[in-house]
Chain A
């Protein structure tokens, strides 16, 4: 079975049907559809980070680099005033990001622990400053995407990216696929080795695995999906800005991830919803939202020792136990 834990199954049965129906309730309000879309996109990003951090034990503070690259690659590759094909560019962007991740991974994965955190940060900061200072790509002011891609496959166009509801469903579908993909990946034979490496790299080497290759592949896969999320984010409003690449973006994703529950994959969605939800609520409630946000984050670290997902799992297990 793909979803072993009760909490996980419960989540799948609650979240996706709800998400599927959501736009019907929100029909009159485009904003909420957009907001939820952003949350889906962020969830994909955070989920790819969760795979790296939680499943592979590769903690990075440079994941935003790929998020940003997803956007900038589109701006760089696509002609400015011509609608390109969404699927083709999805492929381009994922492939190029994967290639970049391959090269960077070759360097970065030689280190581990805090050193790896810092060297991934270093690469992210380099790209951040590169785009911040670039003349061609708008520097700190960012660039616009004037024409959104069209989505036809063999002439059949399913989505209209300019329609927020369509875009919402595209992102929801992407999120669902990402979740499924990671779940399958974790359960796969590849996943077994990755698990082994995370728990005990020395032993895994001694069993004859070239652990570097597994780490590298994981890094590449997660980075490509991170870039895909960035690509979606760019398409949502048609705007790319270097702040997508900044370390605070990586840091925030990490916060969402830890909140949600590291290593649980679906926790990424919980974490993102919680963080964004809190942010939204507090911000509308008081100008000093930071105070409360900070306080709540601190509180949650103390209460949810294994993140929200872990908390749910314990809750349901305890009930089962009785």
Chain B
């Protein structure tokens, strides 16, 4: 059985989207939800079938001489720019795309399911148009799937944009809330700005290599790099520029510093959306992009350094901010940023020659596990918010009694992200640390530190929600979510526990040969130690309500405030966009347009008018003055000719 049926993976969500979108409110809320969810379920089944057939089958030449092959299941010409540059819409199957198919469809299906409960009666004033919600979810699934299976960079760009817009639509789902509207706008514009880099990168790359095709590009990276003929721009090779710019696109989607600012705001969207888009799938698109073009990136040392530095810094920065946030979704958002930065760093430090390119594998592994446990955490957060109707930690506390399932699921998620064995996060994070140590000890220690911070802020979050104090919830006692919501939590908890045990390296590695994971015990033990210390610290500080955290905040007031305000990055952006772009560029330009450009044309008209006024005296009405003018005219004629003849 060949993979041609794989088109269903794209077509089903598309059909769902069109159906739900066009039917709109003619469908009942329930029907729309059920249709969306079941279609997603079918899609998930097909995606699983494809992935399993790819990983475990051999009949289609999936694996030749121990190397998993890249299979283009189908390919349609969509647009021909020129003879060579052709955009095709196709379906590329290789280890990472197969792995992503699983991740996306799993999380997406679970989120669909979860939303059936979550979106039903919660906040219903704003939730008019659940039909729309499911349509958008389908659109998102379509775009994300299209993105990961793209066999060429332009298809990826196309779906990249679509992912952006579905994210925009979903963040702004509560479109009557100004905060949601501005958050969606911000998300779209920031990522759009990053995409500009992506686009320019594509342009440069395709100009030299004359292809968009990933297989052509990555199968012989040296040749691809050499097409530039060593051309440089501002001292760096153009290919480095191209790849860095493409990374900029990835950094935008994956919320790397300094393009991360949209992600925390994006939490204004419905929580299941945050789980799907802003934790599990879309935000890892940047990581996926680098992984997809990894052989090319390896050729440019400078770009890799940029990636490493940005990744490592972001990891630290986001962790630092996460330590002091009070909105639970924001903490999770910053934690997401930090974790994605782990993956990016891991790719940045990965080299084929270093430990068989463990960084690549580790990054993908972490992507996989993170998708699961972060989705779990977000869905738990959703359940909590659903229960207490607030995002703020101050409104929570002691919830373990009211929401046992949620409590356990959240704890599992926290343990996973903190890297405690045998939870999923431990294995993948451990590989990342190994890779970092392989590159340089500095990066290793740095990342380990950040891992410790991760454990700290996650448990701070956990304790603040489930322990800390016992506020009076009044008549509105929180309780565990309905089954549609709890079921995904349970499934994801299980996955988060066991996912780490998957021999991931057997399936995914940079050269698509099987890679056998060995635990590096030095790294593993020390990292677990750091995590445990951090957890203990968090336990000490946050298990019971006490004054210590406040005191600490007071003693590091400057640092604390800065971190709480996310080191003023938003203000900086605000300043640049409003004060500089709007006030210093757009407004003067608009003024210039009205006053100078248009004004000069108007003044031409005025000139004609005033000239007309000025010469009216010539027409004085007196015959004698007419004759004067007549005579002057005669003389003038003669004079002109005489002058011209001389």
**Is chain B a partner of chain A in the same complex?**
no
A residues contacting B by CB (< 8 A) are none
